[in-house]
Amino acid sequence: MSAPIIRVTGLTKRFGAFTAVDALDLSVPAGTIFAFLGANGSGKSTTIRMLIGLLRPTEGTIVVDDVDVVREPRRVRERIGYMGQKVSLYQGLTLHENVEFYGGLYGLEPRALAGRWRELAERFDLEAIDAKVEELPAAIRQRAGLAVSMLHRPRLLFLDEPTAGVDVRSRGLFWEVIQDEARRGVSVFVTTHFLEEVDCCDRVCFIDAGRVLADGTPDELRGSWEAAYRIEIEPAPGTQTRVAAMLAAHGLPVATEGTTLEVHLPLLEARELDALQAVLAAEPATRVRVDEVEMAEVFRRLTGGAAA
Amino acid sequence: MTRARSFWTGVWAIAYREATVLRHDQAFLSMIIAQPIIMMTLFGWGLRNEPANVPWVVLDRSQTTASRRLVGDIQATGYFLPPVAVPDYPHGEARLRAGKAIAMLVVPQEFRRDLERGAARVQLLLDGSDPLTSARIGAYVAQVTARAAPGRAGPPPPRIDARQRFWFNRTLSDSHFFLAALVGMLLTNLCLSTMAQGIVGERERGTYEQMAALPTTALQIVLGKIVPLVGISLVILLVVQCAVGVVFGFWPQGSWAVLVVVTIPFVLASLAIGVLISALARSTAQSVFISVFAILPSFVLSGVMMPYELMPDGVRQLGGLLPLRWYQIALRAVIARGAGLVDVLVPLGALTGLLVVLLALASWRLPRRLG
Amino acid sequence: MSWRRLRTLVQREVRATFRDPFTVAVLITVPLAALLTFGFVLSTEVNELPLAVLDADDTPASRRLLADIDASDAFRVEPVRNRAELERGLVRGRTTAAVVIPPGFGRRAERSDGVRPPEVQLSYDGAEAVLAGNAEGALRALVGASGAALVGAGSAGGIALTTRALFNPTLDGRPFMVAGVFGFVLSFLTTLITAVTIVNERLTGTFDQLQVTPATAIEIVLGKLLPLGAVFSLDLLLMMVLAGIVLGVWPQGNVVVFLLVSMGYVFMSLALGLVISASSVTAAEAVQKTVMFSIPLVQLSGFAFPIRSMPTILQWLTEVFPATHYIRITRAIYIRAAALDTLLPELLWLAVFAALLAWLAVRTVEARA
Domains of chain C: 3-41+172-366 (no CATH), 49-150 (3.40.1710.10)
Q: Do the chains contact at C123 and B167, CB–CB below 8 Å?
A: yes
Q: What is the mean pLDDT of residues C55-84?
A: 88
Q: What is the pLDDT of residues C36-65, one digit of tens each?
A: 888 888 777 777 888 999 998 888 888 888
pLDDT at position A192 is 85
Please tell me the number of Cα atoms within 13 Å of B113 on its side-chain side.
5
- CA nearest to C349, candidates C329, C335, C331: C329
- Give the B:C interface size as CB pairs under 8 Å: 356
Q: How far is CA B312 from CA A10, B308, C46, C96, C245, in A?
A: 72, 9, 10, 17, 17
Nearest to A288 by CA among A268, A308, A260, A266: A260
Interface of B with C in 237-296 (CB under 8 A): 282-289, 292-293, 296
* Chain A residues closer than 8 Å to C212 by CB: 52-54, 77, 80, 82
Q: Hey, is the C-beta of B17 within 8 angstroms of any chain C C-beta?
A: no
* C113 pLDDT more than 70: no
Q: Which of B53, B148, B285 minimises the CB distance to C196?
A: B285
A–B contact: 3+ Cβ pairs < 8 A: no
Contact B239, B33 (CB under 8 A): no
Residue A306: band (very low, low, confident or very high) from pLDDT cuts 50, 70, 90: very low
Contact yes or no for C127 and B311 at CB 8 A: no
Q: Which run of H or of E encompasses C296?
A: helix C283-300
Least confident of A55-59, A140-144, B229-233, B234-238: A140-144
CA distances from C251 to A130, C171, C256, C340 (A): 49, 16, 10, 14
Mean pLDDT of B169-193: 86
pLDDT confidence tier of residue C191, bands split at 50, 70 and 90: confident
Query: Which among B122, B138, B311 has CB closest to C41?
Result: B311
Structure confidence at residue A103 (pLDDT): 93
Task: Check if the beta carbon of residue B110 is closer than 8 Å to that of residue B61.
Answer: no
Highest average pLDDT, of A236-245, B137-146, B339-348, C123-132, comes from: B339-348
pLDDT band at residue C148 under the 50/70/90 scheme: low
Name subunits touching C (3+ CB pairs < 8 A). A, B
d(CA A119, CA A122) in angstroms, rounded, equals 5
For B131-170, letters b (16+ CB in 10 Å) and e give bbbbbbbbbbbbbbbbebbbeeeeebbbbbebeeebbbbe
Whether residue C166 and residue B128 make contact (CB cut-off 8 A), yes or no, is yes
Query: Does A86 sit within 8 Å of C8, measured CB to CB?
Result: no
Least confident of B173-187, B328-342, C153-167, C204-218: C153-167
Out of B122, B286, B315, closest to residue C161 by CB: B122
Task: Examine the pLDDT at C356 and tell me if it is beyond 80.
Answer: yes
Cβ of B285 within 8 Å of Cβ of C44? The answer is no
CA Rg, chain B, in Å?
Answer: 28
Comparison of pLDDT for A221 and A62, the residue scoring more: A62
pLDDT tens track for B251-272: 998 899 999 999 999 999 999 8
Residue contact C5–A54, C-beta within 8 A: no
Three-state secondary structure call for residue C207: helix
State whether the Cα torsion C132-C136-C142-C147 is positive or negative: positive
Give the pLDDT confidence of C193-204 residue by residue, as tens digits. 888 888 888 888
| Contacts of residue A170, Cβ cutoff 8 Å, sequence gap at least 6 | A139, A142, A143, A163
Residues of C in contact with B134 (CB under 8 A): 165, 171
- Please provide residue A31's backbone torsions phi and psi, each rounded to the nearest 5 degrees: 70, 15
Stated as kind and residue range, the H or E segment containing A223 is: helix A218-223
Average pLDDT over residues B161-186: 83
Catalogue the E-assigned strands of A193-286.
203-208, 211-216, 229-234, 254-257, 260-265
CA C325: distance to chain centroid? 14
The answer on pLDDT for C368 being more than 80 is no
Closest residue in chain A to residue C205, using alpha carbons only: A88
* Nearest neighbour of C165 by CB, restricted to B49, B134, B168: B134
Among B96, B310, B313, B327, the strongest candidate for a mutation testing the C interface, having the largest count of C CBs within 10 A, is: B310
Give the helix/strand (H/E) hosting A290: strand A287-292
CB contact under 8 A, B162 and C140: yes
Query: What's the whole-model pTM score?
Result: 0.82
Look at chain C and count its residues.
Answer: 369
Q: Is the pLDDT of residue A108 over 50?
A: yes
Q: Which member of A56, A97, A104 has the closest CB to residue C368?
A: A56
| Mean pLDDT within B191-196 | 82
Question: Is C220 near chain A, with CB under 8 Å?
Answer: no
Distance from CA of A99 to the nearest CA of C (A): 11
Q: Give the mean model confidence (pLDDT) for residues B59-85.
A: 92
A55 contacts in C (CB within 8 Å)? 368-369
Task: Write out chain C residues lying below 8 Å of A73, CB-based.
Answer: 368
pLDDT confidence of residue A248: 84
3-state SS track over A104-144: HHCCCCHHHHHHHHHHHHHHCCCCCCCCEHHHCCHHHHHHH
Closest CA to C130 of B139, B174, B328: B174
Per-residue pLDDT averaged across C324-347, rounded?
91
Residue C234: CB atoms within 10 Å: 13
Per-residue DSSP letter, C251:
-
Residue A274: strand, helix, or coil: helix
Whether chain C has a CB inside 8 Å of the CB on B168: the answer is: yes
| Among B79, B116, B278, B309, the residue to mutate for chain C (most C Cβ within 10 A) | B309
Q: Is the pLDDT of residue B151 over 60?
A: no
Report the alpha-carbon distance of residue B345 to residue C348 in Å, rounded. 55
How many Cα atoms sit within 13 Å of B245 on the Cβ side? 12
The arithmetic mean of pLDDT across residues A131-153, rounded, is 86
Question: What residues 105-134 of chain A have any CB closer than 8 A to a CB of chain C?
Answer: 105-107
Segments making up each domain of chain B, as ranges: 3-47+173-370, 56-147
Burial of residue B66, with CB atoms counted within 10 A of its CB: 0-12 exposed, 13-18 middle, 19 or more buried: buried
Alpha carbon of B109: minimum distance to chain C alpha carbons (Å): 15
**Which of B16-20, B55-59, B181-185, C360-364 has the lowest average pLDDT?**
B16-20
User: For residue A59, what are the β-bridge partners?
Assistant: A12
∠B359-B365-B371 over CA atoms, to 5°? 120
Query: Cβ of C311 and B288 within 8 Å?
Result: no
The pLDDT value given to residue B209: 65
Question: Over chain B, what is the mean pLDDT?
Answer: 84
Chain C: nearest CA to A79, how far in angstroms?
A: 9
Weakest mean pLDDT among B105-109, C48-52, C76-80, C143-147: C143-147
For A150-198, write each residue's pLDDT tens digit.
Answer: 999 999 999 998 888 777 887 888 888 889 889 998 999 999 878 778 8
pLDDT tens track for A5-17: 999 999 999 998 8
Q: Which residues pair with B259 in a beta bridge?
A: none
Q: Where would I find the beta strands (DSSP E) of chain C?
A: 49-55, 75-79, 97-101, 119-125, 160-167
Which of B47, B129, B333 is closest, CB to CB, to C91?
A: B333
pLDDT for position C152: 47
DSSP letter (8 states) at residue A190: E
User: Could A77 and C214 be called an inter-chain contact, meaning their C-beta atoms sit closer than 8 Å?
Assistant: yes
**Mean per-residue pLDDT over chain A, rounded:** 85
Average pLDDT, chain C: 86
Whether residue A89 lies within 8 A of chain C, CB to CB, comes out as yes
With b meaning 16 or more CB within 10 Å and e meaning fewer, what string describes B100-121?
A: ebbbbbbbbeebbebbeebebb
| pLDDT of A227 | 67
Residue B156 has pLDDT above 60, yes or no: no
Give residue B366's pLDDT: 65
The secondary structure of residue C241, as a DSSP letter, is H
pLDDT (tens digit per residue) in B274-310: 888 887 777 777 777 788 778 878 888 898 888 888 8
Instruction: Give Cα separations from B95 to A65, A185, B107, C115, C312 (angstroms).
Output: 66, 76, 17, 45, 23
d(CA C186, CA C239): 11
- Sketch out chain A's domains with CATH numbers: 4-222 (3.40.50.300), 226-292 (3.30.70.260)
CA distance to partner chain B, nearest, from residue C189 (Å): 10
* C369, closest residue in chain A (CA to CA): A55
Give the mean model confidence (pLDDT) for residues B178-207. Answer: 82
Would an 8 Å CB–CB cutoff place C159 in contact with chain B? Answer: yes
Three-state DSSP state, A268: coil
Starting at the edge strand found earlier in the chain, the sheet holding B84-85 runs: B84-85, B56-60, B103-107, B121-127, C160-167
Beta carbons of C125 and B50 less than 8 Å apart: no
Model confidence band, residue A134 (pLDDT cutoffs 50, 70, 90): confident
Q: Residues 6 or more apart from C248 whose CB is under 8 A from it?
A: C174
Distance separating alpha carbons of residues B286 and C91, to the nearest angstrom? 41
pLDDT for residue A247 is more than 90:
no
Cα–Cα distance measured from residue C324 to residue C14, given in angstroms and rounded to the nearest whole number: 31
The answer to whether B116 and B82 are in contact (CB under 8 A) is no
Q: Which residues of C touch B66 (CB under 8 A)?
A: none
Within 8 A by CB and 6+ apart from B4, the residues are none
Name C50's bridge partners: C76
Cβ atoms of residues B274 and B194 within 8 Å? yes
The CATH code that applies to domain B56-147 is 3.40.1710.10
**pLDDT band, very low/low/confident/very high, at C156 (cuts 50, 70, 90):** very low
Alpha carbon C281 to chain centroid, angstroms: 32
Is the CB of B151 inside 8 Å of chain C's CB atoms?
Answer: no
Touching status, chains A and C (3+ beta-carbon pairs under 8 Å): yes
Nearest chain C alpha carbon to B140:
C137
Q: pLDDT per residue over B116-142, tens digit each?
A: 877 788 999 999 888 888 888 888 888
